[in-house]
Structure formats: structure tokens, C-alpha cells
Amino acid sequence: MAEKNSEENSEEKTVFKRYPFQLAKVSDLSKETKNVAITGIVLSKDSEIQSFIIDDSTGKVNVITNNSTAFGTIEEGKVVRVLGKTWGEGEDIEIQSDLIQDFSKIDFNLYKKTI
């Protein structure tokens, strides 16, 4: 079996630079914060646009998701951790979620002391 030359093997690849998620509080969010991990209690859901509001006791933030499976598991009163990107500014800051984790088995008050 003959090997293809290196020009035939080379493919142009798109490289996306990913930054780590930083633990953050809602009160710390600004347009400068990019990838964040926020943990809070789900206050409400909006099924029309697949968004929900979480409260981490320092403030509230709207979270938007494109993942209908993850959105279906979210319940009001449940503790979740959202990993995502911030966008907007001032009072209009929102999080576009990359990942939503169920933190309902975590002692939320104890967890808040660690961040």
C-alpha cells in the first residue's frame, strides 16, 4: 500500500481557542468576563426561548441554552451549575450556556463558602 504524499494528507483545520471557565458570582459579571461557571438556584424558566433565571445569592442572571435535552431537565428550585459565555453589559448581561450541570445533591450554602 502506497503512502500519500504529505500534500495530499494535509487538511486545513480550523482551530478554536478555548479558555477555561472561571468560577464567578453573578455580582462579578461584566462584559470583560468571558467563560464563567456560575452556580445558583433556578428561579424561573421560559420554554419559548429556552432560557432560565438563576440566583446565586449575589444576584440573578438569565441563562440561554440551545440544548433542549438539558433544558428539559431544569426545574424551578433546583441547584445547577452553568458553564458558558457572558454577553451583553450592565443590567443586560446574560449567559449563553455550553454546559448545564445538576448540582441538586450539593449543599449550596456550603458550596457558596468555597467561592
- Residue 21: its H or E element: none
Q: Which residue has the cell 443586560?
A: 92
Looking at residue 9, its pLDDT comes to 55
pLDDT confidence of 16, banded at 50, 70, 90?
low
Contact yes or no for 36/22 (Cβ under 8 A): yes
Domain 18-106: give its CATH architecture. Answer: Beta Barrel (2.40)
pLDDT surpasses 70 at 27: yes
Q: Average model confidence (pLDDT) for the chain?
A: 88
pLDDT confidence of 10, banded at 50, 70, 90?
low
Half-sphere exposure of 79 (CA within 13 A, CB side): 13
CB atoms under 10 Å from CB of 81, counted, come to 19
Q: What is the 3-state secondary structure (H, E, C) of 60-113?
A: EEEEECCCHHHHHHCCCCCEEEEEEEEECCHHHCEEEEEEEEECCCCCHHHHHH
Q: What is the mean pLDDT of residues 78-101?
A: 92
